[in-house]
Structure formats: structure tokens, C-alpha cells
Amino acid sequence: MINELVWRQLKSQLDAKGVTLVAVSKTKPVADIQALYNLGQRDFGENYVQELVEKQAQLPNDIRWHFIGHLQSNKVKQIAPFVQMIHAVDSFKLLTEINKQAVKNGRTIDVLLQMHIADEETKFGMSVTEMFDFMDYYRAQKDDLKQVEIRGLMGMASFTNDESKVEQEFLQLYNRFLVMQRTDFIGKNTFDICSMGMSADYAIAIHCGSTMVRIGSALFGTR
Ligand SMILES: *Cc1c(COP(=O)(O)O)cnc(C)c1O
């Protein structure tokens, strides 16, 4: 079951602010995705490769699929033929593999670099130091990475009721995004996405500058 009213309110609120809504449909049936699609939703997020591949085959071709989970290099080839954006790139090895598979499929794949902003050890993503190392590798090998487009940053805040802490983490991510954008780290002006905010914290994320939110349970119900 989808929550149509929530979708309508969220969609108009986000459209007015120029924020992209990615509807996170992981574990939810194809019928729910189709129902939201019929209302006009086009960006959907999944975080398991097998599940995404199975769903994609059954749904309209103009859906923009976002892979938002942790991705192993050896699984990139399964989603490379159709995926729009991979949100959680946290190693240069993964970036290289995405480019390789994009070339094989004659496409360009958009990616976001995942930053570690939360306290929790369990959350994936790069530290600031790792990010600088990553960018050094990237700049040195940029000419061989033409079919992967680094579009911005992605991050997940700590799982806590402490809103000021969540806000602080989102601001930290957004500031890194701005610095990278202003200093033209990528060397192209295509660095324009800061993906942050989920059902519980999207309002804070938007307040902090988010340009893309990833919302699941508020739209599809609890998992
Ligand atoms: C599941 C998931 C979401 C959506 O979470 P909700 O709390 O259901 O909105 C967003 N981002 C990532 C990376 C996720 O895995």
C-alpha cells in the first residue's frame, strides 16, 4: 500500500524547492512501485542488486533507478545496463568498475561519493582523508574514466532523536559539497547533487541544503 496523500504533499513541497524525490522501494512489491509511477513518480531507489534487477524487468522503462545501497564491485555488471545513478561510491576500485561496465553497455552512469558523517562505525562512506586520496586518484586517471559522471555527494546522518546532532552532520556534508563544487574538484560543472535525508530526517536535510532526498517508509509504509 502506498500513501498517496503523503506523496502528493511531499512531491509539491519538494518540486517547489527544486529537490528531487527518490522513492525508496526496497522490500516493497512491484505493484506499489507501479502505483506510485502512475501518480507521476519516476525516481526510485533500491539497495539490493538481485531485487533491483528483478523489479526493473517488470516495470516501465522510463523509471530512473537509483542504487542506494553498498555495492560490491563484482555486482556492478548486473545493474550497469539500466541504472541511472549509484549513490554510495566509497572506493576508487568501485568507480573504476562502474566506468568499465558503463563502457561495455555504451552508456554513462552518474555516481555520488558517499561521505561518512555519522558517529556509528557501521555506516559506510569515506572520511575526509579518504576523499582527498580518492580525488587524487581520480584526477590522475580522469581521462580513462569518461563514462562515469561524479554528480555530487551522499550521506546518512546518525540514527538519533537528537535533531541538533543530525543537523550538524548534514551541514558538515553540505559544506563539503559546496567546497568541492566551488573549488571545481571534478573539473566539470556537473557536480550539483547533495543526496541527504530519509523519512525521519528529510525536513532537517532540506533545511541544510539537500538537493535530493531518499524516502521509503513515509511513502510505502514501514518495512
Ligand atoms: C532504506 C534507505 C532509505 C530510506 O529510508 P526510510 O527511513 O524508509 O525513508 C534511504 N537511504 C538509504 C541509503 C536507505 O538504505
At 12-67, the pLDDT tens digits run 999 999 999 999 999 999 999 999 999 999 999 999 999 999 999 999 999 999 99
Whether residue 61 lies inside any domain: the answer is yes
Q: In this predicted structure, what is the pLDDT of residue 185?
A: 79
Whether residue 223 lies inside any domain: the answer is no
Whether residue 222 lies inside any domain: the answer is no
The CATH number of whichever domain residue 161 belongs to comes to 3.20.20.10
Whether residue 173 lies inside any domain: the answer is yes
215 CA → ligand 1 middle, Å: 6
Q: Is 217 in the pocket of ligand 1 (CB under 6 A)?
A: yes
136 CA → ligand 1 middle, Å: 30
199 CA → ligand 1 middle, Å: 7
Whether residue 19 lies inside any domain: the answer is yes
Whether residue 49 lies inside any domain: the answer is yes
Is pTM beyond 0.95? Reply is yes
Q: In this predicted structure, what is the pLDDT of residue 123?
A: 67
Whether residue 103 lies inside any domain: the answer is yes
Q: Which domain holds residue 84?
A: 4-215
For 123-127, which contacts have Cβ atoms below 8 Å and span 24 or more sequence positions? 123/156, 124/70, 124/88, 124/90, 125/88, 125/90, 125/154, 125/155, 125/156, 126/90
The number of folded domains in the chain is: 1
Q: Is 145 in the pocket of ligand 1 (CB under 6 A)?
A: no
Q: In this predicted structure, what is the pLDDT of residue 133?
A: 93
Whether residue 62 lies inside any domain: the answer is yes
